[in-house]
């Protein structure tokens, strides 16, 4: 009976995916639309824009630009998670992100702010001064206390799959079936969160985090299967190396490939697009949303 109920619930989640809604900062976000999350890396060594916004003033200025370009969410991180990146101290991460979050919250009270961290202390302090979402690339495997922080603040939590850690994740990762492994990991973490009273969850398959090139394409191609988890799907393909390796593109020439991968991901169920180029992503999202709304009118 338990297996039957699980299967029935998964089918119901899949069929009702576009009818679901999530609430962020008092706003209702319907999953029949897609939304843009702009990336703000306050780091000297991130893979795509390391050092560009390490200065506090430049970070705040860039956040303002992304908001003006139409970002729904700003994702602020103070620690690089590129392959091979070394971890930094809690104090250093706090020093990088807290003043920026505070400034953006004061100037843009309505914008959704996500803090990209794997440390519960950073998450706690960020939520206390106005962040709305914890974006944990470890899926709670580095610091399980993040779950309690999210519960206490009634915050949304992004669960991502990673194989290993940033230092080891690209050292010959291997999967029998990458989709099944990632799905099972996320499903198990969701079950644990639900049993502890957490339901404001967003899932991320972890493109580029301990994945081979073919694994990333397989996850995008079969992204629709993750609808049956019953939670919004976020995707982060922006400027990633699997695009560069596939098309022989350096880091500065992956924007078109990024938008194509983001568009395919939306069609397959992604509803939050985490991206470096907000302006281009907003155009793609708007076309997706217009097409989706037209389809609903025709089928009404």
Catalytic residue (one of 227, 240, 271, 280): 240
- Predicted local confidence at residue 45, as pLDDT: 60
Active-site residue, 222 included: no
Query: To which residue do tokens 């999350």 refer?
Result: 37
Q: Are 241 and 256 in contact (CB under 8 A)?
A: no
Query: To which residue do tokens 């985090």 refer?
Result: 209
- Predicted local confidence at residue 53, as pLDDT: 64
- Predicted local confidence at residue 297, as pLDDT: 53
Count H helices and E strands in the chain, helices first.
10, 10
- Predicted local confidence at residue 20, as pLDDT: 95
What residues have CB less than 8 Å from 150, skipping those under 6 apart? 123, 127, 134, 156, 157, 198, 200
- Host H or E run for residue 207: none
Residues of the chain with pLDDT under 50: none
- Predicted local confidence at residue 157, as pLDDT: 98
Cα dihedral: 109, 232, 180, 11 (round 10): 160
Query: Rounded distance, CA 67 to CA 275, Å?
Result: 13
What residues have CB less than 8 Å from 119, skipping those under 6 apart? 90, 93, 142, 143, 146
Structural domains of the chain, with CATH: 2-299 (3.20.20.20)
Catalytic residue (one of 96, 119, 211, 274): 274
- Predicted local confidence at residue 86, as pLDDT: 81
Task: Compute the C-alpha angle 175/180/182, nearest 5°.
Answer: 75
Q: What is the DSSP string of 242-297?
A: HHHHHHT--GGG-HHHHHHHHHHHHHTTEEEEEES-HHHHHHHHHHHHHHHHHHHH
> Within a 10 A sphere around the Cβ of 57, how many other Cβ atoms?
10
**Token code pair at residue 8:** 């029935």
- Predicted local confidence at residue 10, as pLDDT: 94
Q: Are 114 and 157 in contact (CB under 8 A)?
A: no
Query: Rounded distance, CA 93 to CA 81, Å?
Result: 13
Active-site residue, 52 included: no
């Amino acid at each position: 009976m338990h297996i039957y109920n699980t299967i029935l619930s998964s089918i119901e989640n899949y069929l009702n995916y576009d009818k679901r809604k999530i609430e962020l900062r008092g706003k209702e976000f319907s999953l029949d639309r897609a939304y843009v999350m702009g990336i703000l890396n306050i780091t000297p060594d991130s893979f795509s824009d390391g050092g560009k916004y390490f200065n506090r003033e430049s970070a705040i200025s860039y956040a303002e630009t992304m908001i003006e370009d139409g970002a729904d969410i700003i994702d602020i991180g103070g620690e690089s998670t590129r392959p091979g990146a070394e971890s930094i101290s809690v104090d250093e991460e706090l020093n990088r992100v807290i003043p920026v979050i505070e400034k953006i919250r004061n100037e843009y009270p309505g914008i959704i702010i996500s803090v990209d961290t794997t440390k519960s202390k950073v998450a706690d302090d960020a939520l206390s001064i106005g962040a709305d979402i914890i974006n944990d690339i470890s899926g709670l495997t580095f610091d399980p206390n993040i779950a309690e922080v999210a519960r206490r603040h009634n915050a949304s939590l992004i669960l991502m799959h990673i194989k290993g850690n940033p230092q080891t994740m690209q050292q010959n990762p291997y999967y029998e079936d990458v989709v099944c492994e990632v799905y099972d990991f996320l499903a198990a973490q969701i079950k644990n969160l639900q049993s502890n009273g957490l339901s404001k969850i967003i899932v991320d398959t972890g493109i580029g985090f301990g994945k081979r090139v073919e694994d990333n394409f397989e996850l995008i191609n079969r992204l629709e299967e993750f609808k049956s988890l019953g939670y919004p799907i976020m995707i982060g393909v922006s400027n990633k190396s699997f695009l560069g390796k596939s098309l022989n593109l350096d880091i500065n020439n992956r924007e078109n490939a990024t938008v194509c991968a983001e568009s395919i991901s939306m069609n397959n169920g992604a509803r939050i697009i985490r991206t470096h180029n907000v302006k281009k992503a907003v155009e793609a999202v708007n076309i997706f949303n217009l097409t989706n709304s037209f389809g609903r009118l025709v089928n009404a």
